[in-house]
Amino acid sequence: MFTGCGTALVTPFRENLSLDEAALRANVRRQIDNGIDFLVPCGTTGESPTLTHDEHLRIVEITVEESAARVPVLAGAGGYDTAKVISTIAELEKLGVSGILSVTPYYNKPTQEGLFQHFKAIAASTSLPIVLYSVQPRTNVNIDVATVVRLAAIPNIAGIKEASGSLSQVSSILARVPDSFVVLSGDDAVTIPVVALGGHGVISVVANQIPFDFSELTHAAMRGDYQKARQLQRKYQALMEVNFIESSPGPVKFAMARMGLIEPAWRLPLVPPQPASQTKIECILEELGLIAGVRL
């Protein structure tokens, strides 16, 4: 269900920092029309830490409505309070989501046994498939390979978004989990090697900007057409890199605003990229023809 190219959707705000529902709906339609395989609202790229609970639910509700069962919706629901995560998942399940992406608890820094018990409790609370989200650079907690293997034995823990930054760890996971356990790249720039190792696709930031081409890159890699995948990688490598020139999703939202897709609005503590970063982003967008009229 969650294979191929999934988009980690940005959350568009208006100038007054209220949710821009029209821009969100437009982005969801644009993603689906351009071949994205599944949608991921309310993750890191969606600025989930600054969303109210009601906003979180509303964003997911809109994504489900606009997708109209054309693609699966993998809704973000993670945090450092297991009981609260379980409560949120119960509400998301009622909205008709296809699955849950759940990031490792941050700040309270659980042990590997704590991580196992946390995700085991989440899985036991719902019939939805759960995709783990391991992103040590943000949470300071890594889901070790042995823990992933233990969790993969739980029937409705369906996969992992692997953003540890270690291809060796990805390779080790793939060597030890069942083929049915979905391993997704959490980093656009290493989608090709993750797929080459046996991974099942990516949850992408850059797909917010170039849904058609990044979907094409992912699908080419998955069918073994590495020549085409490499061509697209080389074309868009600079865009993938500049999206992380400062803390994401600051740069990708700035770029999307320059593309005319959303308003340039971030909630504190996120701020617009610095002027030098903005110049670099604009130069890359211009080189790719993405500023003067949105290129799909």
The CATH number of the domain holding residue 137 is 3.20.20.70
Contact 157, 130 (CB under 8 A): yes
Q: Is residue 147 part of a domain?
A: yes
Q: Is residue 113 part of a domain?
A: yes
* Active-site residue identified among 107, 120, 161, 236: 161
Structural domain of 183: 4-225
Interatomic CA distance for residues 107 and 137, integer angstroms: 12
Query: pLDDT band at residue 176, thresholds of 50, 70 and 90?
Result: very high
* Active-site residue identified among 80, 94, 109, 133: 133
End-to-end CA distance of the chain: 25
- The mean pLDDT of 161-177, rounded to a whole number, is 96
Q: Is residue 241 part of a domain?
A: no
Structural domain count, the chain: 1
What is the pLDDT, as a whole number, of residue 292?
A: 55
- For residue 4, pLDDT beyond 70: yes
Q: Is residue 244 part of a domain?
A: no
pLDDT tens by residue, 199-235:
999 999 999 999 999 999 999 999 999 999 999 999 9
- Give me the chain's average pLDDT, please: 96
Tokens encoding 270: 């996120």
- The mean pLDDT of 64-70, rounded to a whole number, is 97
- For residue 293, pLDDT beyond 80: no
pTM of the predicted structure, to 2 decimals: 0.96
Query: Catalytic annotation on 106?
Result: no
Q: Is residue 292 part of a domain?
A: no
pLDDT tens by residue, 28-51:
999 999 999 999 999 999 999 999
Q: Is residue 145 part of a domain?
A: yes
Q: Is residue 275 part of a domain?
A: no
CA angle 72, 77, 78 (to 5 degrees): 140
Query: Catalytic annotation on 94?
Result: no
